[in-house]
Chain A
Amino acid sequence: MRLAFVSAGRILRQLRNDPRTIGLMLVVPLVLIGLMAWIYHGQPLIFDHVGPALLGVFPLTVMFIVTSITTLRERQSGTLERLLTTPLSKGAFMSGYALAFGVVALVQALLASAWSVWVCGMSIHGAWWQLVIVAVIDAVLGSSLGLLASGFARSEFQAVQFMPAFILPQFLLCGLFVSRDSLPTGLKQLSDVLPLSYAVDAMNTLATRIDGGSDVAKDVGILIGFSILALVGGALTLRRRTV
């Protein structure tokens, strides 16, 4: 497990050397949330519905893209092959990514939630720190899904295409446009098995209810479950021996 931290440190150092990527990861969500707040300037009730959902969408989406591309690069540049000949285990390799991007997600979540509440005027009834926890778990899930997806991409071009393929359907069905309860039967069931739905549910609960703690905990549990599934799936796509 120590080597997972060593790897996480290396990944964060890589990010630190790439300020533009950090900027994009941290600032783009703020700009988009700000844009939404502006669009619904005359209808604050709608922003109170859309804002929390976006806080659930961004960490997952951003981390998914960043992780799928960076791990694909490791596969293609030969660094992964080399790492797998060192004492670094596959689990530690994956955990390194989850840890490193979890740290970035924490910063992103703090910024985005503070921005939404204090600058954009989004109202939340639940606890602020719970919002941050959900965002971090959500981001770790995004990283795990990205690790999994990178196993199926043969090029960066394909990896980028996975964003609309993996994420957009979840985005459409997560309750942002039509609340999940009002979806047609087949789609409601489909949205029940998509991870993003639970991130958005948790955010919505936190925004609208003071006493939603146990519901949020349940959603977080489901998010963690999805994350573990994705990491296990991702580990299966990491082969020490290849053709």
Chain B
Amino acid sequence: MEAPPPAATETLDPAGDVAIDVSHLTVVRGHRLVLPDLSVRIPRGLVTGLLGPSGGGKSTLIRAIVGVQIVESGTISVLGEPAGSPQLRRRVGYVTQAPSVYDDLSIRENINYFARLVGASADDVDWAIDQVGLADHAGQRVANLSGGQLSRTSLACALVGRPEALVLDEPTVGLDPVLRRSLWTLFHQLADSGTTLLVSSHVMDEASRCDRLLLLREGRILADGSFDELLRRTNTHDAEDAFLALIDAEDAAQHRGVAS
């Protein structure tokens, strides 16, 4: 099999279509090089899936994009501003991997707090609760919620400010298929209204739900393009096989590199 062709986003126009521009990003955690010189562009107004195995650097890349990760070198621009700059704090919504909400508050109290931090209105709070399908439980204490309700509460806390870019770290983990489908529908509705979404997942099946895919393994981008492109290029029929084909191709290329 041939080595993967160059990244597809190079055709994007940085001024107009690019929401997040990561350039030569290097991140070291402890003594481990998690992201070695990673460059990638994430288009505006689409749902981009960040897929790959756990430990491949997905959360680190996401944390770097929202500006909470200490980076070794490289630049990241988000919506035209450097990542983590104060101007972005109202424009970018971030959902951490573990649901980061307050146990001892109700769903509504949690969302209300994050709403007031970003200057959102009471209507926005109702809208966010509605979007994640928790209207019937809004008064319930978060400590008594199921895992899925918890992660949806966490998501609503980011939605409520109606940010221009939403960065979601594994938002669909542990959800049943029906809920997962409804969240992906929501993501596409948001994208249709102009929001840029970056959604990470280690579940390969979710690849087919994304407008664009980034496959990340051991800190490097294995593929960048649409799902169909990926299948065509690897001559496979599902995301899992495509991913494996890419890994095999890369490993083979590396062996050749060592041999020569």
Instruction: Please indicate whether A and B come from the same complex rather than being unrelated chains.
Output: yes
Q: Which residues of A contact B (CB under 8 A)?
A: 3, 6-7, 10, 13-14, 17-18, 77-79, 81-88, 240-243
Asked whether A18 and B104 contact (CB < 8 A) given A78-B98, A82-B96, the answer is: yes
Complex Cα spacing A10 to B95, Å: 19
Complex Cα spacing A239 to B71, Å: 13
Q: Are B104 and A78 in contact (CB under 8 A)?
A: no
Q: Are B69 and A242 in contact (CB under 8 A)?
A: yes
Closest chain B CB from A243 CB (angstroms): 5
Q: Are B117 and A87 in contact (CB under 8 A)?
A: yes
Inter-chain CB contacts under 8 Å: number: 77
Q: Are A241 and B117 in contact (CB under 8 A)?
A: no
Complex Cα spacing A10 to B101, Å: 12
In the complex, what residue of chain B is closest to A5 when comparing beta carbons? B116
Q: Are A86 and B114 in contact (CB under 8 A)?
A: yes
Contacts of B70 in A (CB 8 A): 241-243
Contacts of B30 in A (CB 8 A): 243
Choose, from B15-23, B86-94, B173-181, B193-201, the stretch at the interface: B86-94
Q: Which residues of B contact A (CB under 8 A)?
A: 29-30, 63, 66-71, 84, 86, 89-90, 92, 94-106, 109, 113-114, 116-119, 141, 157
Contacts beyond the supplied A18-B104, A241-B71: 15 A-B pairs with Cβ under 8 Å: A6-B113, A13-B105, A14-B104, A17-B141, A77-B100, A81-B68, A82-B157, A85-B68, A86-B90, A87-B118, A88-B117, A241-B68, A242-B68, A242-B70, A243-B70
- List, sorted by A's number, 23 A–B pairs whose CB atoms are closer than 8 Å: A6-B113, A10-B113, A14-B105, A18-B104, A77-B100, A78-B97, A78-B98, A79-B101, A81-B63, A82-B94, A82-B95, A82-B100, A84-B68, A85-B92, A86-B89, A87-B118, A240-B67, A241-B67, A241-B69, A241-B71, A241-B84, A242-B69, A243-B30
Q: Are B94 and A79 in contact (CB under 8 A)?
A: no
Q: Are A14 and B96 in contact (CB under 8 A)?
A: no
Complex Cα spacing A206 to B63, Å: 52
Contacts of A18 in B (CB 8 A): 104
Closest chain A CB from B179 CB (angstroms): 21
In the complex, what residue of chain B is closest to A92 when comparing beta carbons? B117
Partner of A17, one of B69, B96, B104, B113: B104
Partner of A78, one of B84, B96, B106: B96
Closest chain A CB from B107 CB (angstroms): 13
Contacts of B117 in A (CB 8 A): 3, 6, 83, 86-88
Main secondary structure of the interface of B (DSSP, over half): loop
Closest chain A CB from B155 CB (angstroms): 12
Contacts of B86 in A (CB 8 A): 87
Complex Cα spacing A105 to B66, Å: 36
Closest chain B CB from A125 CB (angstroms): 42
Contacts of A10 in B (CB 8 A): 102, 105, 109, 113
| Closest CB pairs A-B (n = 7) | A78-B100, A78-B96, A10-B113, A86-B117, A82-B100, A79-B100, A14-B104
In the complex, what residue of chain B is closest to A14 when comparing beta carbons? B104
Contacts of B109 in A (CB 8 A): 10, 13
Complex Cα spacing A79 to B118, Å: 15
Contacts of A242 in B (CB 8 A): 68-70
Contacts of B116 in A (CB 8 A): 3, 6
Complex Cα spacing A78 to B150, Å: 13
Complex Cα spacing A10 to B110, Å: 8
Closest chain B CB from A8 CB (angstroms): 11
Q: Are B118 and A81 in contact (CB under 8 A)?
A: no
Closest chain A CB from B175 CB (angstroms): 18
Contacts of A88 in B (CB 8 A): 117
Closest chain A CB from B246 CB (angstroms): 29
Q: Which one of A3, A86, A241 has the greatest number of beta carbons of chain B within 10 Å?
A: A86
Q: Are A87 and B100 in contact (CB under 8 A)?
A: no
Complex Cα spacing A10 to B106, Å: 11
In the complex, what residue of chain B is closest to A16 when comparing beta carbons? B104
In the complex, what residue of chain B is closest to A80 when comparing beta carbons? B100
Complex Cα spacing A3 to B117, Å: 6
Contacts of A243 in B (CB 8 A): 29-30, 69-70
Contacts of B90 in A (CB 8 A): 86-87
Contacts of A241 in B (CB 8 A): 67-71, 84
Complex Cα spacing A184 to B122, Å: 62
Closest chain B CB from A49 CB (angstroms): 40
Contacts of A81 in B (CB 8 A): 63, 68, 96, 100
Contacts of B66 in A (CB 8 A): 85
Asked whether A77 and B98 contact (CB < 8 A) given A86-B114, A87-B90, A243-B29, the answer is: yes
Closest chain B CB from A7 CB (angstroms): 8
Complex Cα spacing A7 to B106, Å: 15
